[in-house]
Copies of this chain bind each other. A is one copy, B any other.
Amino acid sequence: MPTDLRFGLDRRVTLSDPLHLESGARLARVEVGYETYGTLDPDGGNAILICHALTGNQHVAGADPRTGRPGWWERMVGPGKPIDPARHFIVAANVLGGCSGSSGPASVDPATGRPYGMTFPVITVRDMVRAQAALLDHLGIATLAAVVGGSMGGMQALDWAVAYPQRVRAVVAIATAARHSAQNIAYHEVGRQAIMADPNWRGGDYQIDAPPVAGLAVARMAAHITYLSEAGLTAKFGRRLQDRDAVSFGFDADFQVESYLRHQGLSFVERFDANSYLYITRATDYFDLAAPHDGRLAAAFAHTATRFAVVAFDSDWLYPTAEARRIVRALNAANARVSFVELASPHGHDAFLLDSPDLNRVVDGFLRAGE
């Protein structure tokens, strides 16, 4: 097969058409950062789309060329893994609104020659999915063997089956929900307020060399706690002290958990744009697949021919098992083919990113059953 420049690591494309957004706005020029692994079958039947979570990116199984960090899901995607470039053609794209190659608030508005900032239109999970569909058109992929994602990636995966039921044979939705709960929204709002309270934010028009890092770090710290379980935090840190034998009677990071959280905040601001964080959290807050159907989630999946695997982790309190069961009940009511499993893990929401042989077994079995 001759070299096709559309395929490979760290690609970027400008979509050929404007994107019409759920808000009614129109994005004239949309770039999508993405990468692919493996080889597309002649019949195009082996394509799998991986959708990333809130602060993820397209570098699923290869190092991020900007940060040098390894792919964020190499435990799931790679040679000998459930999603394997030897068998699958794997596509992963940065979400619309993101900050690692796809159009977002940090992108330059062609109309002004300056970054959009808060003039970027508010986007939704559906808009992210539409941008991905346009990318697949560009890549020549009519139908996906599967869409796979965890957390916000799971929302996209579910929404794919709703928005493009003819283009998705299977969905794997992990540690996710079909809507954002009041508590989910509340935590995101805290993060947004932390960013907007930072004077460096300047209504979104921050200087490139003076972004609102303090506010963004606080937002990340608050969010990070929701990714871990109470028991997991206790096991990992408990009340252990950081590099000292006794408390300092001060405001240093006496406790390991404080030091860890501060590090999470500080390292995050090096790799993420504050306005992107605002837009992407907003997109997930708006997510509610049942809303167009007067709250009847089953109606969103009516007549679907897609197969679904829904996976929850028992210690995930961000998107708890009850939300997964709600999805499964709706799929059952819609007469869809669905398998559901709740996995045991002490790691809370982040379990889907960590070593989980059970998760790999579930995904592998589900995908093979459709091949």
Contact residues of A with B, CB < 8 Å?
22-25, 118, 121-122, 179-183, 185-187, 189-190, 192-194, 196-199, 214-215, 217-218, 221-222, 225, 228, 230, 233-234, 236-239, 247, 249-251, 253, 255, 257-258, 261-262, 265, 278, 282, 285-286, 288, 291, 317, 320
Given contacts A189-B261, A190-B218, A225-B186, contact A239 B179 (CB under 8 A): yes
The answer to whether B185 and A234 touch across the interface, beta carbons within 8 angstroms, is no
A224: shortest Cβ distance to chain B, in Å?
A: 8
Q: Tell me what chain A mostly uses at the interface: helix, strand, loop, or mixed.
A: helix
The answer to whether A193 and B217 touch across the interface, beta carbons within 8 angstroms, is yes
What residues on B are CB-neighbors of A193 within 8 Å? 217-218, 221, 262, 265
Q: A187-B225, A230-B317 are in contact. List 10 more A-B contacts (CB 8 A).
A: A182-B234, A182-B255, A185-B255, A186-B261, A190-B218, A193-B221, A196-B251, A199-B199, A239-B291, A251-B282
What residues on B are CB-neighbors of A257 within 8 Å? 182, 185-186, 189
**Docked pose: A262 CA to B197 CA in angstroms:** 12
**Docked pose: A253 CA to B278 CA in angstroms:** 13
What residues on B are CB-neighbors of A262 within 8 Å? 189, 193
The answer to whether B234 and A181 touch across the interface, beta carbons within 8 angstroms, is yes
What residues on B are CB-neighbors of A186 within 8 Å? 221, 225, 233, 257-258, 261
**Docked pose: A237 CA to B247 CA in angstroms:** 40
The answer to whether B185 and A251 touch across the interface, beta carbons within 8 angstroms, is no
A253: shortest Cβ distance to chain B, in Å?
A: 8
Given contacts A286-B247, A317-B230, contact A239 B189 (CB under 8 A): no
This chain's copy number in the assembly: 2
The answer to whether B197 and A239 touch across the interface, beta carbons within 8 angstroms, is no
Residue from A118, A234, A239, A253 whose CB has the most chain B CB atoms within 10 Å: A239
The answer to whether A122 and B187 touch across the interface, beta carbons within 8 angstroms, is no
What residues on B are CB-neighbors of A197 within 8 Å? 194, 198, 214-215, 217-218
For A199, the closest partner residue in chain B by CB is B199
A61: shortest Cβ distance to chain B, in Å?
A: 31
**Docked pose: A217 CA to B190 CA in angstroms:** 9
A118: shortest Cβ distance to chain B, in Å?
A: 8
Q: List 5 A-B contacts (CB under 8 A).
A: A181-B233, A183-B234, A185-B257, A189-B257, A218-B218
For A246, the closest partner residue in chain B by CB is B291
The answer to whether A122 and B249 touch across the interface, beta carbons within 8 angstroms, is yes
The answer to whether B251 and A192 touch across the interface, beta carbons within 8 angstroms, is yes
CB within 8 A of A255: which of B199, B217, B258, B285? B285
What residues on B are CB-neighbors of A237 within 8 Å? 182
**Docked pose: A196 CA to B250 CA in angstroms:** 14
For A23, the closest partner residue in chain B by CB is B249
**Docked pose: A133 CA to B198 CA in angstroms:** 42
**Docked pose: A285 CA to B253 CA in angstroms:** 11
The answer to whether B278 and A233 touch across the interface, beta carbons within 8 angstroms, is no
Residue from A214, A222, A291, A320 whose CB has the most chain B CB atoms within 10 Å: A222
Given contacts A197-B214, A250-B122, contact A230 B181 (CB under 8 A): yes
A27: shortest Cβ distance to chain B, in Å?
A: 13
CB within 8 A of A185: which of B118, B181, B215, B239? B239
